[in-house]
Amino acid sequence: MISLENSLIEGLPEGEIDGHDFGSGEFNIFIRTNNPLKSFERLKKILESDEMLDNVRAAYRDVESEEYTVVWPTSLRDFKVL
Protein backbone atom coordinates (compact mmCIF):
# COMPACT_ATOMS: atom_id res chain seq x y z
CA MET A 1 0.00 0.00 0.00
CA ILE A 2 2.90 2.36 0.62
CA SER A 3 3.99 2.07 -3.02
CA LEU A 4 0.43 2.89 -4.10
CA GLU A 5 0.39 5.91 -1.80
CA ASN A 6 3.72 7.08 -3.27
CA SER A 7 2.32 6.75 -6.80
CA LEU A 8 -0.72 8.78 -5.80
CA ILE A 9 1.48 11.51 -4.29
CA GLU A 10 3.43 11.76 -7.57
CA GLY A 11 0.19 11.96 -9.58
CA LEU A 12 -1.40 14.63 -7.41
CA PRO A 13 0.10 18.04 -8.28
CA GLU A 14 -2.78 20.14 -6.90
CA GLY A 15 -3.46 18.30 -3.68
CA GLU A 16 -1.73 16.51 -0.86
CA ILE A 17 -1.98 13.20 0.92
CA ASP A 18 -3.22 14.09 4.40
CA GLY A 19 -2.77 10.68 5.97
CA HIS A 20 -4.01 7.10 5.91
CA ASP A 21 -5.34 4.44 8.20
CA PHE A 22 -5.97 0.70 8.29
CA GLY A 23 -8.82 -1.07 10.01
CA SER A 24 -12.17 -2.82 9.71
CA GLY A 25 -10.94 -4.60 6.59
CA GLU A 26 -10.17 -1.42 4.67
CA PHE A 27 -7.31 0.93 3.88
CA ASN A 28 -8.10 4.64 3.68
CA ILE A 29 -6.04 7.38 2.07
CA PHE A 30 -7.07 10.93 2.90
CA ILE A 31 -6.39 13.65 0.33
CA ARG A 32 -6.77 17.42 0.69
CA THR A 33 -7.60 19.17 -2.57
CA ASN A 34 -9.62 22.13 -3.78
CA ASN A 35 -10.83 20.14 -6.79
CA PRO A 36 -11.76 16.58 -5.76
CA LEU A 37 -13.29 15.57 -9.10
CA LYS A 38 -10.28 16.67 -11.15
CA SER A 39 -7.92 15.06 -8.63
CA PHE A 40 -9.81 11.75 -8.77
CA GLU A 41 -9.71 11.73 -12.58
CA ARG A 42 -5.92 12.03 -12.42
CA LEU A 43 -5.58 9.38 -9.72
CA LYS A 44 -8.05 7.06 -11.45
CA LYS A 45 -5.48 6.50 -14.22
CA ILE A 46 -2.90 5.40 -11.65
CA LEU A 47 -5.41 3.10 -9.95
CA GLU A 48 -6.35 1.56 -13.32
CA SER A 49 -2.72 0.93 -14.28
CA ASP A 50 -2.11 -0.74 -10.90
CA GLU A 51 -5.31 -2.80 -11.38
CA MET A 52 -6.72 -1.34 -8.15
CA LEU A 53 -9.73 0.59 -9.47
CA ASP A 54 -12.21 -2.27 -8.96
CA ASN A 55 -11.43 -2.22 -5.23
CA VAL A 56 -11.69 1.55 -4.79
CA ARG A 57 -14.46 3.62 -3.29
CA ALA A 58 -13.91 7.37 -3.45
CA ALA A 59 -15.83 10.26 -1.98
CA TYR A 60 -15.19 13.78 -0.78
CA ARG A 61 -16.54 16.12 1.84
CA ASP A 62 -16.07 19.67 2.93
CA VAL A 63 -13.71 19.95 5.90
CA GLU A 64 -16.57 21.36 7.99
CA SER A 65 -19.01 18.57 7.05
CA GLU A 66 -19.53 14.93 7.98
CA GLU A 67 -21.51 14.13 4.79
CA TYR A 68 -19.70 12.60 1.82
CA THR A 69 -20.40 13.00 -1.90
CA VAL A 70 -19.65 9.76 -3.77
CA VAL A 71 -17.26 9.92 -6.72
CA TRP A 72 -16.54 6.22 -7.40
CA PRO A 73 -18.06 3.84 -8.19
CA THR A 74 -20.86 5.89 -9.67
CA SER A 75 -23.43 3.30 -8.55
CA LEU A 76 -22.44 3.68 -4.87
CA ARG A 77 -25.07 5.56 -2.87
CA ASP A 78 -23.70 5.47 0.67
CA PHE A 79 -20.17 6.19 1.81
CA LYS A 80 -18.62 6.23 5.26
CA VAL A 81 -15.19 5.73 6.74
CA LEU A 82 -15.17 2.78 9.15
Residue 12 has pLDDT above 90, yes or no: no
Diameter of the chain measured on Cα atoms: 33
**Confidence at residue 56, expressed as pLDDT on a 0 to 100 scale:** 94
**Confidence at residue 27, expressed as pLDDT on a 0 to 100 scale:** 84
Of 67 and 23, the structure prediction assigns the larger pLDDT to 67
Burial annotation 26-38 (CB, 10 A radius, 16+ → b, else e) = eeebebebeebee
- Per-residue model confidence as pLDDT tens digits over 16-66: 888 888 888 888 889 999 999 999 999 999 999 989 999 999 999 999 999
Q: Which amino acid does the sequence have at 22?
A: F
